Amino acid sequence: MGEQPGVVFFHAHPDDEAIFSGGTIAQLVARGHRVTVVYLTNGDPDPHGALAAVRVAEARAACALLGATRVAFLGLGDSGLDAATAGTGSSWLADLSDVAAQVEAVLRDEDAAALVVYDEGGIYGHPDHLVVHRAGLAAAEAAGTPCVYEATVDREYLHFVETHLVGHAVQSLLGMEIAATNAAPLGVPTVEVSVTVDVRDQAGVKRAAMAAHASQIGPSSEPLTMAADTFDGVYGYEWYVRRRGATGPLDALGF
């Protein structure tokens, strides 16, 4: 199979690419697509700190496992869960038009057929995820990118499986009990999902990419210790809302 159109994934933090779209990236690569992953932040409030360097290295390792051709970092700081306390250098305080311009440049350079961002609520409301959504849409509009997908989670599906990492993130964000997090206002309802990608055949590489982020997802964490069939149930599907364009490369993967 010859090289297929390029797809750019715009993520907020190192590890988001594996958690929310790792199987999709691997499937696109297997079909001959050139995949680029762009990170808004280095995953550390201090974008030049020791943790930032670790997380950048982990991201490169994870993307290599998934087969991404190009990895780019905008180099901003993690804003934290509360935008009101975001520090200097954080994405939340960055000039949104400047962020969009940098993503636009990548889209043009790659002649991308599609851009993947997050849904309007940032999946679970993290400030950095909201910046990805807003800046990504502006970048795609400016670049004339034919198709935009929003990575999300099917909140109704998550009611019936073990707690997804996004549930733990909501617990931190809202102070909710773990038992309630899968019922929290995260992602979108099933009816709003445009494309569901079954990535169970990529579960091994997805779990390996998650494990590459050892500073965030330790070897004793739930995703890395749960049984294979449980992992398939929780992480074996990836969900997208098609924001722009009639169809695109992800539609060919999903249902």
Residue 148 within any structural domain of the chain: yes
Residue 250 within any structural domain of the chain: no
Give the CATH number of the domain where residue 114 resides. Answer: 3.40.50.10320
Number of domains in the chain: 1
pLDDT on residue 186: 84
Question: pLDDT tens-digit profile of 207-240?
Answer: 999 999 999 999 999 999 999 999 999 999 999 9
Residue 238 within any structural domain of the chain: yes
Residue 254 within any structural domain of the chain: no
Residue 101 within any structural domain of the chain: yes
Residue 88 within any structural domain of the chain: yes
Question: pLDDT tens-digit profile of 125-149?
Answer: 899 999 999 999 999 999 999 999 9
pLDDT at 182 over 60: no
pTM: 0.94
pLDDT on residue 178: 45
Q: Pairing state of beta strands 195-198 and 237-244?
A: antiparallel
Host domain of residue 85? 4-242
Pick the more confident residue, 161 or 215.
215
Residue 252 within any structural domain of the chain: no
Residue 132 within any structural domain of the chain: yes
Nearest to 199 by CA among 157, 140, 255, 143: 255
Question: pLDDT tens-digit profile of 183-214?
Answer: 456 899 999 999 999 999 999 999 999 999 99
